[in-house]
Amino acid sequence: MKMTRRAFCAGLAAVPLARPTQAQDMALLTARAATVQLAPDGYPATPVWSYDGTIPGPVIRAAQGSRLQRRLVNTLEVPTSVHWHGIRIDNAMDGVAGLTQNAVPPGESFDYAFDLPDAGTYWYHAHTNSMEQVARGLSGALIIEEATPPDVDRDEVLMIDDWLLEPDTGLFVDDFAAPMTRSHGGQIGNLVGVNGRYDYSLSARQNERLRLRLINSANAQIFGLKLEGLTGWTVALDGMPLDTPEPVTDTLVLAPAQRMDLIVDITAEEGETAGLLFAAADDTWRVLAEVSVEGRAASVPRGAPQPLPRNPRMEVVGVDTAPVLEMPLQGGAMRGLESAAFNGQKLTWQELVQQGQFWALAGQAGLGEAPFATLSRGETARIRMTNDTIFPHAMHLHGMHFRTRKEDGSLGPLRDTVLVMPNEMTEIAFVADNLGKWLLHCHMLGHAASGMTNWIMVA
Ligand SMILES: [Cu+2]
């Protein structure tokens, strides 16, 4: 039952008028305007929308099994809400304006409080007009710590982002709804950085072991990443541990909203280059995060790490006999759509474009009255996403993790966001064990805002 403040106070009239501890002690997360130096020195600073004044927002760390509480205080001039990406969360706390809550108006607040069943690397970001709000800076890392952490010397969060700035003014290019970018690959920045810095660097000792928590918080950019002077293993994807750590031998691909936990040993000699590189648009490798090697932690590297402890209740069972739901990914530049449903009407491609809609999921552009699917609690479901467009899409399911299922029936690692390449088919399988209304959408945020957002109901 939801109590109004008036009813609550009336009920307490006979007892001392203390506010409940929970309300009094709830930590704040303030969405507010700030000015931050994103561009290199000599260029103007950038007015941003931030959590607590920084880009990215504060790293929130909490223990697995604990409860996270934050009062979102909105001091922006626009309504907003917070999505806690990848958390198997109580639906009412999922932060999706228009589906799980009303957006929080300027000057008001909203209390988020939820349990944290899983350890891992997650993130939080705005889920009201995300295309603009995330681009302007409303995101931060959310780290849920294992009771027994892995044997590493340090734990570093690397939040990878890009920004589209006007070099002369430092302002964000104020063109978030540009049809050209939304109907193509989405908004790609002209400056790439880590933890709010275009020149992020850290120092480490030779043979020191680091856990690197990579988070792609960019609007649309898919990062190809490479280690240099580091020997690494992938130990978790989208927060969820791999059964066996995988040696990093090749380019790592990190799509928007995806996370990747690496355990790396600094194998470069003192004075050599070490760090994380990314594939730039001109096909050259550029430094994303530099590691300067100073001193030595041990005489030899440690060898392959142990797997991280599994999270509870993650089995995806009964996949082969589960119903398959077809979800073609449709539309976009050079393909278009014959027609799709939008706001309860069937529209032609021309009409959709006039409404700013360029994409559809299974014939539906944007949220329909009815969900894409209604699943019973505990049911295993398969969704077959066939990419009929010429662009890749990072498809994210809220509230539950899934496994990809290959044609031979084998299952991939647990994820909450999967990259579906053009002309490819990706099938996801999951147990619908979390009640409520859950979005399934593209995390290229311009795509999500122009049609690629649907939802499922677990009842
Ligand atoms: Cu997309």
DSSP-assigned states of every residue in 402-418: EEEE-TTS-EEEEESEE
Residue 78 tokens, joined: 């626009």
pLDDT of residue 273: 81
- pLDDT mean over 156-175: 96
**Predicted confidence band at 336 (pLDDT cuts at 50, 70, 90)?**
confident
Query: Is the predicted pLDDT of residue 1 greater than 80, yes or no?
Result: no
Query: Is the predicted pLDDT of residue 8 greater than 80, yes or no?
Result: no
User: What's the 275 CA to ligand 1 centre distance in angstroms?
Assistant: 30
User: What's the 178 CA to ligand 1 centre distance in angstroms?
Assistant: 15
pLDDT of residue 24: 60
CA dihedral 78, 365, 455, 138 (to 10 degrees): -30
Query: Is the predicted pLDDT of residue 414 greater than 70, yes or no?
Result: yes
Query: Is the predicted pLDDT of residue 2 greater than 70, yes or no?
Result: no
User: What's the 125 CA to ligand 1 centre distance in angstroms?
Assistant: 18
Residues within 5 Å of ion ligand 1 by Cβ? 393, 442, 444, 447
User: What pLDDT digit, counting tens, does each position of 189-235 carry?
Assistant: 999 999 999 999 999 999 999 999 999 999 999 999 999 999 999 99
Query: Is the predicted pLDDT of residue 258 greater than 50, yes or no?
Result: yes
pLDDT of residue 300: 87
User: What's the 188 CA to ligand 1 centre distance in angstroms?
Assistant: 13
pLDDT of residue 353: 96
User: What's the 394 CA to ligand 1 centre distance in angstroms?
Assistant: 6
User: What's the 442 CA to ligand 1 centre distance in angstroms?
Assistant: 5
Query: Is the predicted pLDDT of residue 277 greater than 80, yes or no?
Result: yes
Query: Is the predicted pLDDT of residue 19 greater than 90, yes or no?
Result: no
Average pLDDT, the chain: 93
Q: Within 13 Å and on the Cβ side, how many CA atoms surround 340?
A: 32
User: What's the 308 CA to ligand 1 centre distance in angstroms?
Assistant: 31
Query: Is the predicted pLDDT of residue 22 greater than 90, yes or no?
Result: no
User: What's the 218 CA to ligand 1 centre distance in angstroms?
Assistant: 13
pLDDT of residue 95: 98
Region of poorest pLDDT, from 6-15, 19-28, 63-72, 244-253: 6-15
User: What's the 331 CA to ligand 1 centre distance in angstroms?
Assistant: 10
Residue 420 vs residues 118, 128, 202, 241, 441: alpha-carbon distances, Å: 25, 24, 33, 22, 12
pLDDT of residue 23: 53
User: What pLDDT digit, counting tens, does each position of 370-388 carry?
Assistant: 999 999 999 999 999 999 9
User: What's the 379 CA to ligand 1 centre distance in angstroms?
Assistant: 27
**Predicted confidence band at 306 (pLDDT cuts at 50, 70, 90)?**
very high
**Predicted confidence band at 271 (pLDDT cuts at 50, 70, 90)?**
confident
Q: In angstroms, rounded to a whole number, what is the distance separating the alpha carbons of residues 362 and 340?
A: 9
pLDDT of residue 73: 98
User: What's the 53 CA to ligand 1 centre distance in angstroms?
Assistant: 30
41-62 CB burial, b ≥16 within 10 A, e <16: eebbebbbbbbeebbbbeebee
User: What's the 431 CA to ligand 1 centre distance in angstroms?
Assistant: 24
User: What's the 392 CA to ligand 1 centre distance in angstroms?
Assistant: 6
Residue 350 CB partners (closer than 8 Å, separation 6+): none
User: What's the 393 CA to ligand 1 centre distance in angstroms?
Assistant: 4
**Predicted confidence band at 14 (pLDDT cuts at 50, 70, 90)?**
very low
Residue type, 211: R
Residue 440 CB partners (closer than 8 Å, separation 6+): 327, 361, 372, 383, 395, 396, 397, 398, 454, 455, 456
What DSSP line would sit under 181-229, residue for residue?
A: HHHTT----SEEEETTBTT-EEEEEET-EEEEEEEE--SSPPEEEEEES
Query: Is the predicted pLDDT of residue 10 greater than 80, yes or no?
Result: no
Q: In angstroms, rounded to a whole number, what is the distance separating the alpha carbons of residues 358 and 182?
A: 8
Query: Is the predicted pLDDT of residue 247 greater than 60, yes or no?
Result: yes
User: What's the 217 CA to ligand 1 centre distance in angstroms?
Assistant: 15
User: What's the 450 CA to ligand 1 centre distance in angstroms?
Assistant: 9
- pLDDT mean over 53-66: 98
Residue 310 tokens, joined: 């599994």
Q: In angstroms, rounded to a whole number, what is the distance separating the alpha carbons of residues 160 and 120?
A: 17
pLDDT of residue 301: 83
